[in-house]
Amino acid sequence: MTESERAALFADLYRDYQAKLLRLCRSYLSTDTNVDDLFQEVMLRVWTNLPAFRHQSQPGTWLYRIAVNTALLYRRKQQEQQQSHSGPSQPVHQDHRLLILDRLMRELPPQDRVLLTLYLEGFAYKEIAEILGISVDLTGVRISRIKHALEQRWKEINSDERP
């Protein structure tokens, strides 16, 4: 792969997956703090591993594996804890349902946040299983449990907010 081919492929992947990977980084960290730093770490791994990408797996599967694995070893930078929440990774549109979802996601452990994010991104159970390296059945069971727990909490929040 020549340098120009590499740069072109990187630009294509960036264009197609940037928003998705930012959403994954944001939901994994469960705050807006450090999102851009983690995203840059992910893109750095993508860039450096691009010559090894042989299209044996779908680009999405390959990218999400890198993103999840980078997030797992990501060390939060303490000095950025005070960063403003109006940083560049703040979502543009704030749908009320998404605000509730954000709040509930923060209550989930990181592995469930990853599973839920992949589900919300529209991946099939088989694809999620391929990214994470677990069985399709287990993926289905875990996602059903997460959805069930979310439903319960969603109802509680809604009943709390009712006048």
Site for another protein, rule CB under 8 A: 7, 10-11, 14-15, 18-19, 22-23, 26, 36, 39-40, 43-45, 47-49, 52-53, 62, 65-66, 68-70, 72-73, 75, 88-93, 95, 97-98, 100-101, 109-111, 114-115, 119-122, 130-134, 138, 142, 147, 150-152, 154-155, 158-159, 162
d(CA 149, CA 113): 12
Distance in angstroms (rounded) separating the CA atoms of residues 112 and 28: 9
CA dist., res. 126 & res. 132, Å (int): 10
Q: How far is the CB of 82 from another protein (least distance, A)?
A: 18
Best CA proximity match to 90, nearest among 32, 39, 42: 32
Q: State the nearest-atom distance from the C-beta of 84 to another protein, in Å.
A: 15
Contacts of the segment 38-44: beta carbons below 8 A, 24+ positions apart:
38/70, 38/71, 38/74, 39/89, 41/70, 41/74, 42/66, 42/67, 42/70, 42/71, 43/14
CB of 23 to another protein, least distance (A): 6
Q: Quick one: 83 or 100, whose CB is closer to another protein? A: 100
Nearest distance, CB of residue 80 and another protein, angstroms = 15
